[in-house]
Amino acid sequence: MPNNSQEQIPVYLFLGFLESGKTKFIQETLEDKRFSNGDQTLILVCEEGIEEYDPSKFPKKSRNVFHVIEDKEELKIADLAKLAYDTKAERVIVEYNGMWNASDLFNNMPQNWVIAQIMFFADATTFMNYNANMRSLVVDKLNLCELTVFNRFDKSMDPNEFHKIVRGVSRRSDICYEYADGKVVFDDIEDPLPFDIEADNIVIKDEDFALFYRDIMEEPEKYDGKTVTFKALAAKNGKFPAYTFAVGRHIMTCCVEDIQYCWLVARYDKEDFIPRQKHWIMLTADISVQRHKLYKGPGPVLNIKTMTDSVMPEREVATFY
């Protein structure tokens, strides 16, 4: 029987909507002798389109097992663990269904499955329509991926429009455009932050808080030792250590349903300070990146130097636009 003591199994996750180019890319990957090195590979096909796999083109020493998952209810920890055990899988490739949230997979992955790489594929001719009508599903994918590939790109299309949508969700993902003639161009559009990270005191405007929060959580080391000033909602509960509370704002990524309070750990030397509910403050703090139990690992801790009462920003909910 499968158990949690098994060696870790790397998982390569390919995201995208129907006919976005996932199958073609996975096929080419499995044809590559550098990838097909003899490791037993379990390919979970969660979405079947027009394109089909052609095992006859795989290298002779490749060892692949395909398994179709037709319903997300089939994504169960015990079943996936047994499948990997029965097939003796040493790695897993997942061609994921574009209409399913990634959490449906993550919440049901066996403990020894470890995400090795996440890529998002999109048909450039239909992407804008998906983004307009299924924004939450687009954001779900862009939030996770390390590379976004726009297939079927055309010279009449403006890369800036696609770039803006990706960067509105993630500054981490690389972006490339694959044209109909096979030419691949990597995105090199610069994304300067709307605040000066090299300033003695980094001042964050109300309208830039979402960008600041995402950047400091994605690359906290950039802010280690820096001083920052911004407006935030303070909050505290009984689980917080003495002198410690949360500072942050409600952020909307794509729609009203996904608004959530996004916060940073803050310390203040007045132990008796208890933030009032919906208590807006203006703070200046020194940032120290360190391990903290409220992060369950390392993260930016704000050591507050000054703090004053403030008023709600013109837009209570922060956004990336």
- Strands 174-179 and 147-153: what pairing? parallel
The pLDDT tens digits for 243-296 are 899 999 999 876 666 789 999 999 998 765 666 767 899 999 999 999 998 998
Burial call 159-187: b when 16+ CB within 10 Å, e when fewer? beebbebbbbbbebbebebbbeeeeeeeb
Q: In the prediction, which pLDDT does 4 show?
A: 46
Mean pLDDT of 179-184: 92
Q: Could you give the CA distance from residue 14 to residue 43 in angstroms, rounded to a whole number?
A: 11
Strand partners, 286: 227, 303
- Residue 199 is classified by DSSP as S
- DSSP type of residue 318: B
The yes-or-no verdict on residue 2 having pLDDT over 80 is: no
DSSP-derived 3-state class of residue 237: coil
Q: Are 137 and 165 in contact (CB under 8 A)?
A: no
**Which two three-digit tokens encode residue 125?**
């001719």
Is 192 or 35 the better-scoring residue by pLDDT? 35
CA 165, 23, 68, 37 torsion: positive or negative? Answer: negative
pLDDT of residue 321: 66
Return d(Cα 217, Cα 204) in angstroms, integer.
15
Predicted local distance difference test score (pLDDT) of residue 277: 67
Check residues 236 and 41 and name the one with the higher pLDDT. Answer: 41
% of the chain with per-residue pLDDT over 90: 78
If one counts every other C-beta atom within 10 angstroms of the C-beta of residue 303, the result is: 15
Model confidence pTM above 0.85 = no
Instruction: Look at residues 41, 94, 93 and name the one whose alpha carbon lies nearest to residue 63.
Output: 41
- Burial pattern 105-131, b for ≥16 Cβ within 10 A else e, equals beebbbeebebeebbbbbbbeebeebb
Cβ partners under 8 Å of residue 227, min gap 6 = 200, 201, 202, 284, 285, 286, 287, 305
- For residue 192, what pLDDT is reported? 83
Domains of the chain: 9-186 (3.40.50.300), 202-309 (2.40.50.140)
